Structure 1
Amino acid sequence: MTSPAEPRDRVLDAGALRALAHPLRAQLFDLLSQYGPQTASGLAALTGESTGATSYHLRALARQDLIREVEGRGTARERWWERPVGMVTLSNPELSHTAAGRAIQEAVHSETLNIRQQRLLHFAIHGWEEPEPWREGSLISTASARLTAEQMTELSARLQAVVDETVQRYRHQAGDGLRVVTMRADVFPLPAEGGSS
């Protein structure tokens, strides 16, 4: 077990990316990122998997230092797991030089984006069921503009700064009326007119 540390940014190596390429492991990592510490049985209830399966895959994530056991919490029978605070980068430039490295990154991105897209789709379909303050405070927006690479980079940095500041300010907030809220910022160039880039 390790003690909580200052937030750290981490570019994942091949071993960690291989661990996250598994659909259930990607889902467990995402749930721990969003909801905080959980047990294998709690995660089994959230995913519909068996406790044995979630326990096995949690240990696989822990071997790659993607998650860790929560210090001072739980028992030998009921271990609590958490994701260390800090940004994780799923793209590793060193791995992009080989077909195998690109394939593992593509698999991880596919699993991660699939999870995000399923959550967005669920909200788009069922969001009307939310109480009005949650419904009115949500945003699903798409816009396009003609930008230079430098302008796009500046926009990305500004959006990330807002997200980072919000996460830092409210990460440990406790009390009534709170829910986990996901924040998405998607900024990328579309294919050039005519299909070439």
Structure 2
Amino acid sequence: MFAKGSLQLYGARVDLETITPDATALRALSHPVRLRILGRLRFDGPATATSLAQRLGLNSGATSYHLRQLAAHGFVVDDTTRGNGRERWWRAAHQSTRTPDEAEQAQDPAAQDANDAFNQAVAVVHTEGLQRAVEERPLLPVPWRAASTLSDWGLRLTPGRAQQLMKAVVAVVDGWEEDGEGEPGAELYQVVLHTYPRPGRVATEPCS
């Protein structure tokens, strides 16, 4: 869910570009609040539990608890370069999260279950973000409204060609040159990709 460029403001300070968590860690991350917290740290930079709570509409106690859970599984770490000893600052440890590919998951039911739970949580967060964007759209300047879209296509494809399409779109976004931090009018721009066979059209496999 966390794409290229999500740490442009402090990318040099992350430990690794990507984390591929095991099933236990992925289950710990599969909570909409934790995904929102991690997303804020990746997009906006280091923060305290108090400031995150204010931005996300949470209480600081619950936010601290979720941060500790994220830290226990390696998603966030202390930012020891900030604070005055009274406040604990946190930063994201990685730019993005990736899950094992489908072939690996097929060999490990626990990994498959964890990935399914993760996808459910991601869907909740994406839906919330989209709803907020739609609500804010009428307030945006005309150029930004023109740069926003809610579009969908229905294509008849085999699984192999569908994967090719998905990878081609990802390659376009990954290769898109970003505007510099000093570029007038440049802002963080969200690109969210959802691809899937139309629900109800593909015969599903029986649950084991």
* TM-score of the two chains, using structure 2 as the length reference: 0.77
Deviations 1:8-38 (A, max 9, x none): 3332112311221233212211222332222
The one of 61, 65, 70 aligned to 2:74: 65
Match of 1:105 in 2: 115
Residues 1:40 and 1:176: Cα distance change in structure 2 (over 3 Å): farther
1:5 deviates by 4.8
Aligned to 1:133, the other structure's residue is in SS state helix
Q: In the superposition, relative to structure 1, how do residues 92 and 155 fare at CA in structure 2: closer, same or farther (>3 Å)?
A: closer
Over 3 Å counting, the alpha-carbon distance change for 1:130 and 1:25 in structure 2 is: same
Aligned-residue CA RMSD (Å): 2.8
TM alignment of 1:156-195, pairs within 5 A: 156-166=166-176, 169=178, 173-174=181-182, 177-191=185-199, 193=201
Pick one of 44, 51, 69 that aligns with 1:35: 44
Contact 1:35 1:180 (8 Å CA) reproduced: no
Give the secondary structure class of the aligned counterpart of 1:108. helix
Name the amino acid aligned to 1:42: S
Within a 5 Å distance, the mapping from 1:52-131 to structure 2 comes to 52-91=61-100, 100-131=110-141
Equivalent position of 2:203 in the other structure: 196
Alpha-carbon separation, structure 1, partners of 2:58 and 2:48: 13
Please tell me the residue identity of whatever aligns with 1:118.
Answer: E
Structure 2 letter corresponding to 1:84: A
- Structure 1, unpaired ranges of 5+: none
Q: How many residues align?
A: 192
Shift of 1:173: 2.6
TM-score, normalised with respect to structure 1 = 0.80
1:112 deviates by 1.4
Instruction: Tell me the CA shift for residue 114 of structure 1.
Output: 0.5
Unaligned stretches of 5+ residues in structure 2: 1-11
Residues 71 and 161 of structure 1: is their aligned pair in 2 closer, same or farther, counting only changes over 3 Å? Answer: farther
Of the structure 1 ranges 68-77 and 50-59, higher mean CA displacement relative to structure 2 is found in 68-77
Instruction: Provide, for residues 16-72 of structure 1, a one-character-per-residue CA deviation record: whole Å limited to 9, x for no partner.
Output: 112212332122112223322222111010111122221221121011111122241
**Matches of 2:82 and 2:41 in 1, distance apart?**
15
SS in 2 for 1:43: helix
Identity of aligned residues (%): 29
What does 1:12-27 correspond to in 2, within 5 Å? 12-27=21-36
